[in-house]
Amino acid sequence: MLVAVEDDTASCALRLSGVVKTFGPVLAIDGLDLEIPRGITFGLLGPNGAGKSTVMRLLVGTATATQGSIEALGMPLPASSRAVRARTGLVPQLDNLDEELTCTENLEVYARLYGVPRRQRREAVAWGLELAQLTERADAFTAQLSGGMRRRLLIARGLLHRPELVLLDEPTVGLDPQVRQSLWTQIEQIRSSGATVVLTTHYIEEAERLCDRVAILDHGRLIALDSPRGLRSSYVRSEIVVEVPGDPDRQRRVAAAAEAAGLAHRPAGTAIAVFTDDVSSLVGIDGLREEDLDHRLRRPANLEDVFVALTGATL
């Protein structure tokens, strides 16, 4: 398609203004303004029910905004939904592979749906199988694949037509760490091909590792937007976090000592997290030694800390 004028809109992959979405009495998106420039990997982070998947649904037209306006790839939604979908690839959170078809046939149907020209279809399917590392299993039915394989096929299915905008809804949820690593590599490859990637996740490390910018959503509202590093430095006072496990009594004593030293602290799962730039303030409490604090119990601040600082709740 020829675009005569390169305006602001063209450099913006997505623009949401004042978007509100209700499902019956449930307010899923509560006045969301968001601009996502082209060519970056953008993360939507938030707990379950924050509205992440609803944003994805609005972008592929399976839900329409109650209020506000949405533009994708310079085109208004839902008016130009079909044209947007032709240039967008969605990898859904819920596995909806066609179980009556083989891997090859699954890709073939979507190559046709995305209008891949007849001559390039075979090549596109072969490329998809390779991307999914399923060339050897090309004729296997999807029901015979492992969870990781299915997820890779689902990703390949969404990329067959080389979309400009790639939407990944919880791409690694429920997968074991090894599979997750290999999917991250796949996602990094998509970005390096020049596409804009928008992914939702509630895995902190995923957002930290993959995303150039992260929007934190809570109750359908945008509560923070920055690079992962920017978010940490804005919302977490200290770069170092010490997590002390142990019985509640010990944790209470650690909390008291942190309080006395003027350090921020919070419960973090079964441990207590203390935010500090100087771990020596905790030495001696219940046998905590400096070397433990330096190595074993210490971790860098992460987006979970940001989220807790912003909302008081954990992800």
Partner 1 sequence: MTGPLTDVRWDAIGAIVHREWSVFRRVWAAPMFGSVVEPIVYLVAFGFGFGALVSTVAGLPYLDFMATGSAAISVLFTGMFPGLINGYFRRKENHLYDGLIAAPITVAEIVTGEAAWTGVRTTIVSVITLVVAGVLGVGLAPTVVFVPVIGYVGGFAFHCLGAAFAARLRSTHQFDFVIAGTLVPMFVVAGTFFPLDDAPVWLRYPALVNPLSHVTTLFRAAAFGIGTPLGLVVNVAVVLGFAAVTWVLAARWLRAALID
Residues near partner 1 (CB under 8 A) are 23, 57, 60-64, 82-83, 85-86, 90, 92, 94, 96-101, 105, 108-110, 112-115, 158
Q: Do 28 and 51 touch, CB atoms closer than 8 A?
A: yes
How far does Cα 312 stand from its chain's mean position?
A: 21
Q: Which is nearer to partner 1, 88 or 281 (CB)?
A: 88
Q: Which structure tokens are listed for 113? A: 């749906």
Q: Which is nearer to partner 1, 21 or 202 (CB)?
A: 21
In whole angstroms, the minimum distance from the beta carbon of 118 to partner 1 comes to 9
Close Cβ partners of 314 (under 8 Å, ≥ 6 residues apart): 47, 268, 304, 307, 308
Q: Which is nearer to partner 1, 10 or 79 (CB)?
A: 79
In whole angstroms, the minimum distance from the beta carbon of 155 to partner 1 comes to 13
Q: Which residues of 92-110 are buried (b: 16+ CB within 10 A; e: fewer)?
A: bbeeebeeeebbbbbbbeb
- Cβ count within 10 A of residue 261: 15
In whole angstroms, the minimum distance from the beta carbon of 200 to partner 1 comes to 15
Q: Which is nearer to partner 1, 60 or 241 (CB)?
A: 60
CA angle 213, 76, 186 (to 5 degrees): 40
Q: How do strand 264-268 and strand 271-276 relate by DSSP bridges?
A: antiparallel
Closest CA to 124 of 141, 136, 112: 112
Q: Which is nearer to partner 1, 90 or 242 (CB)?
A: 90
Q: Which is nearer to partner 1, 60 or 315 (CB)?
A: 60
Taking the C-alpha atoms of residue 169 and residue 173, their distance in angstroms, rounded to an integer, is 9
Q: Which is nearer to partner 1, 115 or 287 (CB)?
A: 115
Taking the C-alpha atoms of residue 42 and residue 207, their distance in angstroms, rounded to an integer, is 8
Taking the C-alpha atoms of residue 62 and residue 81, their distance in angstroms, rounded to an integer, is 10
In whole angstroms, the minimum distance from the beta carbon of 214 to partner 1 comes to 24
In whole angstroms, the minimum distance from the beta carbon of 27 to partner 1 comes to 13
In whole angstroms, the minimum distance from the beta carbon of 306 to partner 1 comes to 31
In whole angstroms, the minimum distance from the beta carbon of 22 to partner 1 comes to 9
